[in-house]
């Protein structure tokens, strides 16, 4: 539409395409809920009130809200293709996401980012992308790619690239590392997201003054208040792996709510099917007593304003007609969803018929010489061993010291003490690099589990009661082209293939969920008491998260940011 046509339509001089009558409009701009009709022409909202229309739909007093926007999510964490993800979250009211594709970028580099951009085109879901800042996340692991400032420059002007994704290397900012400052410089006039768990005081001030505008890693109320006080937007995360809504809820008040967003970060397929997406976060926060308009603002106009998303996030003349028709403001059940003025979901049924582009293909990403190794045997070099201790339902770990579990002078799992061997095997370049450690908290009595989802470099990670099952599980993952595997006595008991970068499945969501459930059930049958063993396993290589992790290069102290010996010799 040209300007004159829009004015004529707004004046009522020409009929609009669609009039939604008798709706209770949730106006996130003014903060009011008022009964109104909404005129739509093409993909635009034209105005409110009575208009001549080619088609009229009576909403019967249902609530009309802007389409929901998730301001921070890693789509790879859903294990689904983006079209399959859209098919399952759009009926829940989600019409936009801001994604950081650093998972697939750490495997495939620029090709991975292009894959995300390509496979999310022409869907009824606005997928905006933040360019990954940390590929690799740290220099202490082997990733599939390295992206520097020069790699970013060609993407800077892409209209779907909003800025620089979570700057995980906050020590690099504070100590003025040239590489990370060069990346920030490229995007200095755009949005720069943060990732700085526990950062405080002058270090936090230095991080903020570098241009970083948000943080989604707050776990404690005091931390969130300090970051909000210096002008950072706070993303309250409630996803599948990390849940911070309960602890951060007291942060929200009428003065600061416009600077707060609700995000998922990581969202697994079973949670999508059983709980939902942003609609579930709205349910939770509404049940705690938050005003419904305030709650909806945190998943609409707040992310749209922060990310400078034009003409979305509100129901206003000239804005995109991305709308959610809600049954009520308690359950937030979507009766219908409109995207660009078109009905794309009704009563939970996805009715958009296009599945997105498939022109961008990724090569296989596993290069391990299984005939030559790896060898998981480790000679004992000390009476005590540094141990990774799992903290249930958290991505942080504890560093503890235990008497070395051994047999005939070799490091060995001790299932009675819940001390299991864990290994990370480099899978991108065929280097043969691998490291072995000891982990406590998985509880396996026999067998092994392995995965190619190991944040952030996504090498093969495996934990088990014996070397032979560990190697079979790791090789099973490799032979599948990526995925999860559970092995007992050399036999695969359950598996989930993730052939897209070792991260995402080509299967529909119900089959992904079914196979994931089978893998988790099989792991529990081995003695594991963790609720989400594979999710927990995936974070055991994430070096920026304290206290102790393991990569293909060795055991890593995430507090002092240095490698440490597996054995304590004194």
Question: Measured between alpha carbons, how far is 442 from 420 in angstroms, rounded to an integer?
Answer: 8
Instruction: Indicate the pLDDT class of residue 343, thresholds 50, 70 and 90.
Output: very high
Helix (H) or strand (E) holding 35: strand 32-41
What's the pTM value of the predicted model, to 2 decimals? 0.94
Question: Measured between alpha carbons, how far is 362 from 114 in angstroms, rounded to an integer?
Answer: 10
Instruction: Indicate the pLDDT class of residue 570, thresholds 50, 70 and 90.
Output: low
pLDDT above 80 (res 191): yes
**Mean pLDDT calculated for residue range 523-531:** 94
Instruction: Give residue for tokens 């190619």.
Output: 452
Backbone angles phi and psi of 195, in degrees to 5 = -160, 95
As a whole-number percent, the residues of the chain with pLDDT over 70 amount to: 98
pLDDT above 70 (res 114): yes
As a whole-number percent, the residues of the chain with pLDDT over 90 amount to: 88
pLDDT above 60 (res 359): no
Backbone angles phi and psi of 145, in degrees to 5 = -155, 160
Residue-wise pLDDT tens digits, 370-401: 988 899 999 999 999 999 999 987 788 999 99
Please report the pLDDT score of residue 562 as a whole number: 92
pLDDT above 90 (res 360): no
Instruction: Indicate the pLDDT class of residue 414, thresholds 50, 70 and 90.
Output: very high
Of the candidates 417, 469, 456, the one whose C-alpha atom is nearest the C-alpha of residue 438 is 417
SS3 state of residue 106: helix
> Measured between alpha carbons, how far is residue 295 from residues 224, 285, 336, 450 in Å?
18, 7, 20, 39
Q: Is the CB of residue 136 less than 8 Å from the CB of residue 108?
A: no
Whether CATH 3.20.20.140 fits 68-308: yes
> Measured between alpha carbons, how far is residue 366 from residues 449, 475, 478, 480, 541 in Å?
18, 10, 6, 9, 18
Instruction: Indicate the pLDDT class of residue 316, thresholds 50, 70 and 90.
Output: very high
Residue-wise pLDDT tens digits, 199-252: 999 999 999 999 999 999 998 999 999 999 999 999 999 998 788 999 999 999
Tokens representing 47 are 């105005």
pLDDT above 90 (res 285): yes
Please report the pLDDT score of residue 240 as a whole number: 84
Average pLDDT, the chain: 95
- List the domain boundaries for the chain: 68-308, 384-568
Backbone angles phi and psi of 551, in degrees to 5 = -125, 180
Backbone angles phi and psi of 82, in degrees to 5 = -65, -40
Q: H-type helices in 147-264, by residue range?
A: 149-153, 170-174, 178-186, 201-209, 221-229, 245-248
pLDDT above 80 (res 353): no
Please report the pLDDT score of residue 354 as a whole number: 60
Please report the pLDDT score of residue 78 as a whole number: 96
> Measured between alpha carbons, how far is residue 302 from residues 19, 234, 337, 345, 531 in Å?
27, 11, 20, 24, 33
Most distant pair of Cα atoms in the chain: their distance: 90
Question: Measured between alpha carbons, how far is 261 from 193 in angstroms, rounded to an integer?
Answer: 13
pLDDT above 90 (res 29): yes
Question: Measured between alpha carbons, how far is 413 from 421 in angstroms, rounded to an integer?
Answer: 5
pLDDT above 90 (res 533): yes
Please report the pLDDT score of residue 77 as a whole number: 93
Read out DSSP for 459-510? -EEEEESSHHHHHHHHHHHHHHTSEEEEEETTEEEEEEE-TBTTTBBSS-HH
Question: Measured between alpha carbons, how far is 385 from 520 in angstroms, rounded to an integer?
Answer: 29
Of the candidates 464, 405, 422, 384, the one whose C-alpha atom is nearest the C-alpha of residue 556 is 422
Beta bridge partners of 495: 485
**Mean pLDDT calculated for residue range 130-146:** 92
Residue-wise pLDDT tens digits, 467-504: 999 999 999 999 999 999 999 999 999 999 999 999 99
Please report the pLDDT score of residue 355 as a whole number: 55
Please report the pLDDT score of residue 531 as a whole number: 87
**Mean pLDDT calculated for residue range 556-561:** 90
Please calculate the CA angle 157-320-279 and round it to the nearest 5 degrees: 100
Helix (H) or strand (E) holding 269: helix 269-274
Instruction: Give residue for tokens 């300090």.
Output: 226
* Residue 36 vs residue 544, higher pLDDT: 36
């Amino acid at each position: 539409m040209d300007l004159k046509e829009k004015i004529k339509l707004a004046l009522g001089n020409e009929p609009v395409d669609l009039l939604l009558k008798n709706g209770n409009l949730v106006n996130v701009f003014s903060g009011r809920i008022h009964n109104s009709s909404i005129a739509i022409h093409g993909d635009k909202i034209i105005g409110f009130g009575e208009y001549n229309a080619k088609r009229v739909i009576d909403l019967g007093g249902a609530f009309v809200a802007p389409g929901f926007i998730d301001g921070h999510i890693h789509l790879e964490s859903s294990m689904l293709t983006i079209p399959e993800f859209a098919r399952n979250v759009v009926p829940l009211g989600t019409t936009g996401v801001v994604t950081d594709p650093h998972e697939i970028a750490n495997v495939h580099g620029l090709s991975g980012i292009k894959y995300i951009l390509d496979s999310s085109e022409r869907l009824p879901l606005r997928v905006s992308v933040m360019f990954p800042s940390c590929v690799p996340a740290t220099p202490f692991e082997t990733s599939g790619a390295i992206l520097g400032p020069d790699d970013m420059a060609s993407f800077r002007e892409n209209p779907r690239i909003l800025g620089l994704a979570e700057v995980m290397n906050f020590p690099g900012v504070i100590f003025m590392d040239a590489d990370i400052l060069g990346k920030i410089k490229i995007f200095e006039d755009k949005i720069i997201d943060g990732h700085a768990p526990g950062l405080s005081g002058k270090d936090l001030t230095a991080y903020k003054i570098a241009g970083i505008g948000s943080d989604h890693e707050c776990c404690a109320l005091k931390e969130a208040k300090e970051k909000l006080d210096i002008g950072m937007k706070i993303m309250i995360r409630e996803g599948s792996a990390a849940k911070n809504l309960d602890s951060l809820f007291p942060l929200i008040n009428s003065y600061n709510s416009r600077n707060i967003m609700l995000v998922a970060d990581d969202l697994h397929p079973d949670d999508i099917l059983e709980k939902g997406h942003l609609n579930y976060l709205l349910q939770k926060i509404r049940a705690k007593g938050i005003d419904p308009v305030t709650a909806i603002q945190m998943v609409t106009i707040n992310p749209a304003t922060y990310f400078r998303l034009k003409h979305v996030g509100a129901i206003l003349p000239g804005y995109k007609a991305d709308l959610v028709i809600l049954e009520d403001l308690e359950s937030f059940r979507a009766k219908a969803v409109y995207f660009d003025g078109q009905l794309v979901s009704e009563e939970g049924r996805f009715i958009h018929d296009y599945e997105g582009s498939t022109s961008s293909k990724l090569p296989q990403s596993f290069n391990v010489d299984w005939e030559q190794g790896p060898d998981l045997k480790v000679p004992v070099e000390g009476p005590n061993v540094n141990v990774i201790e799992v903290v249930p339902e958290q991505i942080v770990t504890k560093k503890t010291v235990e008497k070395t579990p051994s047999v005939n002078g070799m490091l060995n799992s001790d299932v009675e003490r819940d001390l299991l061997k864990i290994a990370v095997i480099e899978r991108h370049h065929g280097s043969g690099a691998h490291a072995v450690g000891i982990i406590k908290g998985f509880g396996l009595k026999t067998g092994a589990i392995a995965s190619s989802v190991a944040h952030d470099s996504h090498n093969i990670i495996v934990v088990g009661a014996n070397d032979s099952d560990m190697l079979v599980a790791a090789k099973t993952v490799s032979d599948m082209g990526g995925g999860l595997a559970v092995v007992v006595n050399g036999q695969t008991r359950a598996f989930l293939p993730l052939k897209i970068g070792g991260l995402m499945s080509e299967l529909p969501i119900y089959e992904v969920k079914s196979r994931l459930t089978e893998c988790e059930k099989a792991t529990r049958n081995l003695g594991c008491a963790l609720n989400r063993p594979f999710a927990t396993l995936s974070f055991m290589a994430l070096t920026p998260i304290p206290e102790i992790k393991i990569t293909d290069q060795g055991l890593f102290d995430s507090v002092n940011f240095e490698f440490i010996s597996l054995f304590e010799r004194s």
